[in-house]
Structures are given as C-alpha cells and as structure tokens.
Amino acid sequence: MEELNRRDKAKLSDAWCWSFASPEDRAYHDSEWGVPAHDDVRMFEHLSMECLQCGLSWNTILLKRTILRSCFADFDIDAVAAFDEQDVRRILETPGMLRSERKVRAIIGNARAAQALRREHGSLSEYFWSWTEGRTILYEGHEHGGLPASNGLSKRIARDLKRRGFSFVGPVNVYAHLQSCGIVCDHNELCPRHAFITERFPCTRLPREDEA
C-alpha cells in the first residue's frame, strides 16, 4: 500500500461518516467496538448480542439494545442464570423483542455455563483474555481491510465454549465477539479508533498465518 498524503488520509477518514446503518451503529463504532472490555457484564452482553444476531443485521440488534437489556436483567450473569419458564414467556411477549425461543433459552443456558466457567477462571472476562495473555491482537494486514469471518483463535475458543455447554457460539460469532470486546483490534488504520486503541492498551502483533 502506497503512502497516503495527509489530505488523502483525511478524505478516507471522513468516509467513515457515511458507512454506518444508523446513528446507533455509528455511536457503537465510535465509542465501544474494539475497546478492551474487562468486566463480566460487558463481556456477557457482547457475547449474548452476537448470539442473538445470528440471521439478523447487526443494526437490528443495536436498535433493540434497550429492550434486550430490559429483558435480560442488564445482562447480569447470575440474574439471567436464575430465569425460569415464566421469564422465557415474559421475554418472548415483550413488545419489540426478538421472537426466537431458541435464542432466549440459549442466553439463559449460557449464563449458567458462564457461572461454572467463573468458578474455574475467576471471571468470564479473565477466561477470554487468558487466550491472549491479556493483550489485544493486531493481525498483520487486518488494518488494511479484508477481514476474515473467523480464524484459528475463534475456532479454538468456540470448541472450548461448546464443550463447556455454551450455545450459539460458532467460530464466526466468537470472532465477532473478540472484535467487539477488543481482544482483536480490526479497525482500519485510517479509522481514528485504530490509534485510540493501539496507543492506550497493551497490544501484540501476529502474522496473518497465525490465524489458521
């Protein structure tokens, strides 16, 4: 890639303003996507959102985020793990909520699996960050685009999560989760958020071939 002059970089950076589906999408990108998350509420919320997104657009999930938080007790793991059949019905009958019983039950089941995982690792956050020794991964070439839907790391984590009883956690969902929680930084280098993250958080660079 040829070196871009300052004016060209500014033009390409400004183009980000036009690439979002909604103001919520833009706000999510500009303040949350890719920022390292180290608390269990955010980690479980992001994982649950990725599960719920299957077959839908990400913008749909963002537009329903307030409803999702209301239905799932602000994604408190212990509270969701205690949900019963009455809660399943309540969630499915909530106006504006996604009408997928399988996904609702998966979130509840994942909360219970997360409780067991916390007993081993201390927290859900510590579990995910243990895969990268607490550092954000920058894969060579990702800063220029052409991102994979999944990679070797997401496949390994997906296998382990399924072994632990989690649902809707295939390699694609897990890779999206790693991106959203800042375990993998996939912001384009022309995006201001790339510098925001790489200058403020511990990162490690890996060659693209390490993805397999």
- The phi and psi torsions of 139 (rounded to 5 degrees) equal -85, 135
Q: Which of 58, 126, 131, 189 is catalytic?
A: 58
Element (H, E) at 8: helix 6-14
Q: Which of 28, 127, 129, 139 is catalytic?
A: 28
The Cβ of residue 148 has, within 10 Å, a number of other Cβ atoms equal to 15
How far apart CA 16 and CA 93 sit, in angstroms, is 37
2 DSSP assignment:
P
Amino acid, single-letter form, for residue 177: H
Strands of 53-209, DSSP E = 136-139, 203-206
Active site residue 28: yes
Q: Which of 33, 45, 50, 211 is catalytic?
A: 50
Active site residue 127: no
Q: What residues are labeled active site? A: 28, 50, 58
